[in-house]
Amino acid sequence: MTHADASSTDPSAHPGRPAAADPRRTEGVHPDHADLDRLPLGELLDVLTGDQLGAVQAAQAAAPALARAAAAALPRLQRGGRLLYVGAGTSGRLCVLDATELTPTFSWPPERAVPLIAGGERAIRSAVEGAEDDRAAGERDVQTTRIGPDDVLIGVAASGTTPYVLGALRAARQAGALTVGLSNNPDTPLLREAECGVLLDTGPEIISGSTRLKAGTAQKIALNSFSSALMVQLGKVYGNLMVDLRASNEKLEGRALRLVMHATGAGEADARAALLGASGQVKVAVVALRLGVSAAEATRRLDAAHGHARAALGEA
């Protein structure tokens, strides 16, 4: 008898009745490695890391759907809209992470990246019992943000059935916002109800049911790729250089200096002086050095080019 057979007939799992089959692939028992707990440590790590390749493959397969979602989101953000992220548990924490990192990475205003997690901020570190099952709370939390037609809500749930996320999605659609749904199971309510459904089909987990593994990894890749693509399209990147970073510590100040030097070919002293004149703004320093203009003139040209360095440099 296989491990899967044993689990489906084990009377201790549901005393007095057989276990019900769950149609969600993320809840299925992985067909391989039924003796995972007996593997030597090195082999165990090989199995766990190797299974993560499924996350990469799922995200790659979802790239066309992510592209359609980004294309729909871009004009809303160009009009001043916000990104709202909604999730519960692991998915919610990944939402918080992606929203939070947009500010230091791309100088995206924090008020334009709003993460909502079932159970509130306490749920970032601790499980909040029953929070993900509260559909009404999801609706209320989204309504509290005063969501509007130019906003983009990204709902993330491995199961695709999380009531909190579905409630948030409903409120967003009622307000006219664009809705994007990321689910690791096909044909789920989240994918059906979102305007832009993105399937991350990772299948059963190597530790059955633990969607913090490759399901979560696929979500992280998808969120990273989606938000980064939007930032590139919004002019936050020149070539492949992160020219809109916020240098908030010594490490990032050094990175800003190296970026200016790389983009302009300037020496360290000139790059440092340009950054100082640009109040630490890499993009302004790059345009000023490349065109031989003042920081004020570089800023004016960037504003006229809607923040796109390539256009401000006449390279578009």
Q: Which distant-in-sequence residues (6+ apart) come within 8 Å of 201 by Cβ?
A: 25, 58, 61, 184, 185, 186
Distance in angstroms (rounded) separating the CA atoms of residues 8 and 205: 16
Where do the H-state alpha helices sit in the chain? 3-9, 41-51, 53-61, 63-78, 89-106, 135-144, 163-174, 189-193, 214-233, 250-264, 268-277, 282-291, 295-304, 309-312
Helix (H, G, I), strand (E, B) or coil at 108: coil
Q: Token pair for residue 298?
A: 């570089």
Distance in angstroms (rounded) separating the CA atoms of residues 213 and 252: 30
27 is catalytic: no
90, 95, 96, 101 alpha-carbon torsion, rounded to 10°: 130
Phi and psi at 153, nearest 5°, equal -105, 130
CB 229 within 8 A of CB 208: no
Among candidate residues 27, 101, 195, 253, the one labeled active-site is 101
CB 283 within 8 A of CB 244: yes
132 is catalytic: yes
Among candidate residues 121, 129, 132, 315, the one labeled active-site is 132
Residues annotated catalytic, as ranges: 101, 132
